[in-house]
Amino acid sequence: MTPEPFGARLRQAMDTRGPLCVGIDPHASLLTSWGLNDDIAGLERFTRTVVEALADRVAVLKPQSAFFERFGSRGIAVLEKAVEEARAAGALVLMDAKRGDIGSTMGAYAATYLDKDSPLFSDAVTVSPYLGFGSLRPALDAAAVSGAGVFVLALTSNPEGAEVQSATAADGRSLAQLMLDHMAAENEGAAPLGSVGAVVGATLGDAGVNLAINGPLLAPGIGAQGATPADLPAVFGDAVGNVVPSVSRGVLRHGPDASGLREAAGRFADEVRGAVSGS
């Protein structure tokens, strides 16, 4: 039986739960602000609280793999459980791993996050295309088989990214636009939304690229990095309806009380709806 594509599942989740992605980023400083120790017990408590508070109401939860990996195998075990429980509660899980490599190594990354038999199987994963878009083929193919998605770095919110992403390709396009055009080709003909998304920072102002890729646009930078939902139409233009704004600290700082997390996530989701609809 062919699995339902990620793009279709994401569109439904955004329409019913609101277009919002909440990061699970257990920074040491954030654990401390919650009154938790920066150890495996603190990591587990933090992660469980976020999942229990939000997985039944937000469209996407995005664990940042690095903050779990730093605890070794015990941290990965916490991540595995979080992925399982978040998906069981109805949230789509986007693994923020930003993997990028070639050949069999990229294939191994794809098997880790995009194979349904993997304990870290997620609804989507972030990847880096700057070894060449073709290097992502193992991940793109694995995602298509499992009904998962891939979010490809295009124009990121960190200022250093511009030295690579805004460089000019041989045909005169920026490298970011070249990557976006590859994504558009992957999504051609998909409905209601393709499963290959782009990562485009919400802090960029006018992005200066064509974002019509027929796929989702993950927009980090809302909240602590300075962007607001009201900024989205200026950055994304006609593609704003496909934007999935990503908020981490802007929501997580309202913990450890579950009601505080829920209220903050709900407020951001309402603000995004208003910005996207123009109301």
Catalytic residues: 98
For residues 201 and 245, give the distance between their C-alpha atoms in angstroms, rounded to a whole number. 9
DSSP 235-256: HHGGGGGGEEEEESHHHHTT-S
How many angstroms separate the CA atoms of 6 and 8, rounded? 5
Six-digit token pair at 226?
Answer: 């300075």
Per DSSP, the three-state class of 20 is coil
Q: How far apart are CA 242 and CA 211, in angstroms?
A: 10
Dihedral pair phi/psi, residue 271, rounded to 5°: -65, -40
Which H helix or E strand runs over 68? helix 66-69
- The Cα 222–Cα 228 span in angstroms is 5
Q: What is the dihedral of CA 103, 149, 69, 222, to 10 degrees?
A: 130
